Amino acid sequence: MGAHELHEDRDSDLAAAARAELVRVIEASGAWDSDPVWREAFEAVPRHLFVPYYYAGAVTGRQRLWGESPDRVTRERWLRGAYADAPLATRVRDGELVSSSSQPSLMAAMLAELKVEDGHNVLEIGAGTGYNAALLAHRLGDEHVTTVDLDPEITESARRHLAAAGHHPVVVTGDGARGVPERGPFDRIIATCTLTSVPRAWLAQCRPGARILTPFATGLVALTVRDAEHAEGRFLHTSAYFVPLRGASTPEPEIPHLGAVPARTREHELFRFLLALTQGSLAPQEAYALWEREGRPVRERYGITVSGDREWAWLDEPTGPYAWPLPTT
């Protein structure tokens, strides 16, 4: 056996061991307790094929780790990192993160919360590396999975990664806020980017009763679609930080300003969620007073309603005293 074959065998063994360890870590997190069928997908889909390189370290001064590095130590570091239960920065432009591979345990939790069934047609907003689409395709079959991204470089690399892993779902280059009407209707929509409002095009492309799972503010909201103009749902307990949805029809999210808030509240992640969710409708001191008065509410007490040309976030009940208008897309 030559040196090249030994190199490949060693990497293959390391990848298998690292993938098995990742599966154990995800299982211990309880991410797929509600739908253990996802364990098989994470066991089968090789994450390292979707991150041939990634950036380690802070946003500035990142080190690029590459799977084809001639240095064995660097290559093994890349491979182990590819199976860490951590997000991986895969595209950085002008010092800003534009694409990443999400933390696998969070991906597993989101996929379980999507509550897919055999035969469901799924749209993913934000192709990223293609890894999430591959997990969906393993579970449902290529023909039932569509993924869309605005950036042609991202979609092209996702296609390559998916093909290398033996999957061929439909990968579309386009504005995710507009959906992919020619592939609908959809039973499930899952987004891997943060929204400031729910695109109406998604509702129009869903079957009645469809489920939309998307990051919003710093959380995850699960909406049930009634029809093309109505959807409603609550936030999950999980925190979630994703890059924003980019497109001509989507506004840039605003970062809440905390300067007027007492310093100790900077540690209150749930309060920051309320500020992000209300998108400037509440001044920081006003929001803080409400948050304290209502017993420092957890994420599950909040929700979002879409009704016709109106959209609002709310605390406890859609028609309760605490509701905040959201921009419409």
Angular region, 264: left φ>0, alpha ψ -120 to 50, beta rest = alpha
Q: In what order do the strands lie in the sheet with 219-227?
A: 170-173, 145-149, 122-125, 186-191, 206-216, 219-227, 230-239, 302-307, 310-315, 323-325
Contacts of 117 (CB under 8 A, 6+ apart): 187
Assign 288 to helix, strand or coil.
helix
DSSP string across 232-263? EEEEEEEE---PBP-STTSPPPPPPP-TTS-G
227 with 203: CB under 8 angstroms? yes
Integer angstrom CA distances of residue 20 from 13, 16, 103: 11, 6, 16
Integer angstrom CA distances of residue 10 from 13, 133, 137: 5, 28, 28
Peptide bond into 185 cis (omega under 30): yes
Query: Which residues belong to the active site?
Result: 99
